[in-house]
A = this chain, B = another copy of it.
């Protein structure tokens, strides 16, 4: 199999800039972090819908498509939690390289784990979104009944109850969800992303 002189394609690999140009968007990671029940999942689903309808190609990683797939062989030990976030970061990086806006919605309670993901990608490609909500408010919602289980000791090392949550110190965006509607939160997120220039078309 020799190289032909009669090639019918550009003789250069397709790179991130090419894919961004093709999709007419920049690509980056929207990394939601916050307590269980803070609104990460709800907000990321709603923001994904909004961005998709605006013509952006967005892909969301969450418990459903990660814990049952790529990370099905990980548990909840400290090492496994770190490996969980590391793999999610690496996959997000691949999506960014593919030109896609990656969104992730995981508690990701440790500053060091999030810093590791930030360091994987280029400056400006990691957008940390702190979904701020008090433990009390999250526990009051408790849509999945997880706080109740944690209080009864049926879940060990539950973030906010029996395990720490390290809030971001310098997140790109902070969204406080208490007392706000989903619409209000999404509008605030979109405004923040626009203001910071993430939604510009190349």
Minimum C-beta distance from A52 to chain B (A): 5
Partner of A1, one of B2, B12, B52, B181: B181
Instruction: Judge whether A14 and B184 touch: CB under 8 Å.
Output: no
Taken together as a complex, chains A and B put the C-alpha atoms of A182 and B7 apart, in Å, by: 8
Query: What's the interface size class on A, roughly?
Result: 35 or more
Give every chain B residue within 8 A of A179 (Cβ-Cβ). Answer: 1
A141 to B, closest residue via Cβ? B1
Instruction: Judge whether B14 and A52 touch: CB under 8 Å.
Output: yes
- Chain B CB within 8 A of A191 CB: no
- Chain B CB within 8 A of A18 CB: yes
Instruction: Judge whether A181 and B3 touch: CB under 8 Å.
Output: yes
Taken together as a complex, chains A and B put the C-alpha atoms of A2 and B177 apart, in Å, by: 9
- With contacts A1-B185, A57-B23 taken as known, whether A9 is within 8 angstroms of B91 at the C-beta atoms is no
- Chain B CB within 8 A of A48 CB: yes
Instruction: Judge whether B98 and A182 touch: CB under 8 Å.
Output: no
Partner of A50, one of B9, B95, B182: B9
Which stretch, A39-47, A122-130, A148-156, A166-174, touches the partner chain B?
A: A39-47
- Chain B CB within 8 A of A90 CB: yes
- Chain B CB within 8 A of A77 CB: no
Which stretch, A58-66, A106-114, A193-201, touches the partner chain B?
A: A58-66
- Chain B CB within 8 A of A157 CB: no
Taken together as a complex, chains A and B put the C-alpha atoms of A94 and B93 apart, in Å, by: 13
Partner of A49, one of B12, B65, B93, B95: B12
Instruction: Judge whether B45 and A13 touch: CB under 8 Å.
Output: yes
- Chain B CB within 8 A of A178 CB: yes
| 6 nearest CB pairs, A to B | A4-B181, A70-B90, A9-B49, A59-B98, A4-B183, A1-B177
Show the binding face of A for B, using Cβ within 8 Å.
Answer: 1-4, 6-14, 18-19, 22-23, 39, 42, 45-46, 48-50, 52-53, 55, 57-61, 65, 69-70, 73, 83, 87, 90-91, 93-95, 97-100, 120, 133, 177-187
